[in-house]
Amino acid sequence: MVDTQKIWMNGNLIDHDDAKVHVLAHALHYGTSFFEGIRAYETKKGTAIFRLDEHIDRLFNSCKIYRTDVPYSKEEVKQAIIDTIKANNLKAGYIRPLIYRGYNVLGVNPVKCPVEVMIAVWPWGAYLGEEALRNGIKAQISSWRRLAPNTMPTMAKAGGNYLSSQLIKMEALENGYDEGIALDYSGNVSEGSGENLFAILDDVIYTPPIGSSALVGITRDTIIKIAKNLGYEIKEQVIPREFLYIADEVFLTGTAAEVTPVDTIDNIKIGKGKKTITHKIQDEYFKLVKGELIYDEKWLTYVK
Ligand code: PMP
């Protein structure tokens, strides 16, 4: 069960047990939902949401790709998120806004189904565990590929896309790994089931380019800015699978996963097991989200 009391649903804050949808809702049958995963952290000036504007922009972009008009403005959704955090007395944790097609008629065409909005928040620690943040995870290259261009749009963070993520994650756990790393349609490195990927070789940081099969990660963007600020060269370029095996360090990034080092891939130790640059970037990331360091004032939205 999700540890939350009040859920914002179509304009009202209602009790957890009352937040229900009809079994004939379009989203349930056809995957018609668009969502965000956002984190709030405790800072010296109170609870702050990290990069809320960028998350809301991506949410509205996901809806636009699927010809979905959101019945609220960006400002209204942002305010609703703040109201939900307050209603639950959340100091730090995870925020899940979801826009979905509800019930009217059933059939592939969604346009007659109402566009509904919900927001839930709850306390949430490290997604892959505290130990993973320190010592890294065991990953495998998934047997499942990510989506090919012009099939399912990966620039949309849509519920249906996460069937791919579920296959990657379940396979990895079933095989005794913590996470799966998927290749793209052409066989190059794409991303984890819910994280973007970075690899380091000879002090240069590499990440696959955006625009094919991986989500346009907001943490990815933060990490690129951190890497530049720390003076590292960063290259957005195609990464072949075997590059990961010979890299000095590999790490995964995401709002949930934050900056998680990868210790082994397919049981091959990454580098000599040191995670020096990853930890440097991770330290900087935690300072930024907790307001101990500021690159851009607009990255923190305080819950007042
Ligand atoms: N890729 C996928 C498939 C994801 O689900 C996520 C998490 N939203 C990410 C990458 C990382 O994105 P972000 O840094 O914006 O959370």
Of all protein residues, the one whose alpha carbon is nearest to atom 4 of ligand 1 is: 194
Question: Rounded distance, CA 26 to CA 75, Å?
Answer: 26
The residue whose two tokens read 């800015």 is 225
Candidates 32, 27, 34, 31; CA nearest to 156 is: 34
CATH 3.30.470.10 given to domain 6-122: yes
Ligand 1 atom with minimal separation from the 54 CA: 15
Residue with tokens 């790709």: 65
- Sort strands 38-43 and 46-50 into parallel, antiparallel or unpaired: antiparallel
CA 182 to chain centroid, in Å, comes to 15
Is pLDDT at 226 greater than 80 in this prediction?
A: yes
Residue matched to tokens 């892959």: 128
135-186: per-residue pLDDT in tens?
999 999 999 999 999 999 999 999 999 999 999 999 999 999 999 999 999 9
% of the chain surpassing 70 pLDDT: 100
* CB-based pocket (< 6 A), ligand 1: 37, 165, 191, 194-196, 214-215, 217-220, 253-255
**What residue's CA is closest to ligand 1, atom 3?**
194
**What's the token pair of residue 67?**
């010809």
Q: How many CA atoms lie within 13 A of 79 on its CB side?
A: 7
From 124, 161, 164, 196, give the residue whose CB has the most ligand 1 atoms within 8 Å, as the site to mutate. 196
Q: Could you tell me the distance, in angstroms and rounded to a whole number, from the CA of residue 58 to the centre of ligand 1?
A: 11
CA dihedral 149, 155, 157, 163 (to 10 degrees): 10
φ/ψ (deg, to 5) at 59? -60, -45
**In the prediction, which pLDDT does 135 show?**
96
Element (DSSP H or E) covering residue 35: strand 33-35
Q: Which atom of ligand 1 is nearest to the CA of 154?
A: 3
Is the pLDDT score of 125 beyond 90? no
- Tens digits of per-residue pLDDT, 47-67? 999 999 999 999 999 999 999
Confidence of residue 121 (pLDDT cuts 50, 70, 90): very high
Alpha helices, H only, 9-115: 26-30, 52-65, 74-87
Q: Provide the CATH number for the domain formed by 130-289 in this structure.
A: 3.20.10.10
Work out which ligand 1 atom sits closest to the CA atom of 58.
Answer: 15
Measure the N-to-C terminal CA separation of the chain; round to a whole number of Å.
Answer: 28
Place of tokens 């826009």: 99
How far apart, in whole angstroms, are the C-alpha atoms of residue 220 and residue 80?
Answer: 26
CA nearest ligand 1 atom 10, residue: 195
The span from the CA of 56 to the CA of 285, in Å, is: 20
Joined tokens for residue 289 = 């989200």
Overall average pLDDT of the 89-111 stretch: 97
From 35, 52, 195, give the residue whose CB has the most ligand 1 atoms within 8 Å, as the site to mutate.
195
CB contact set of 220 (below 8 Å; sequence gap of 6+): 196, 198, 207, 210, 253
Mean pLDDT score of the chain, rounded to an integer? 97
Tokens of 238: 């195609």
Q: For the chain, which residues make up each domain, given as ranges?
A: 6-122, 130-289
Q: How far apart are CA 93 and CA 83, in angstroms?
A: 14
255 CA: nearest ligand 1 atom: 16
- Phi, psi at 161, each rounded to 5°: -60, -25
Q: Cα separation of 299 and 16, whole Å?
A: 30
pLDDT at 304: 86
Span 1-35, pLDDT tens digits: 999 999 999 999 999 999 999 999 999 999 999 99
d(CA 116, CA 150): 27
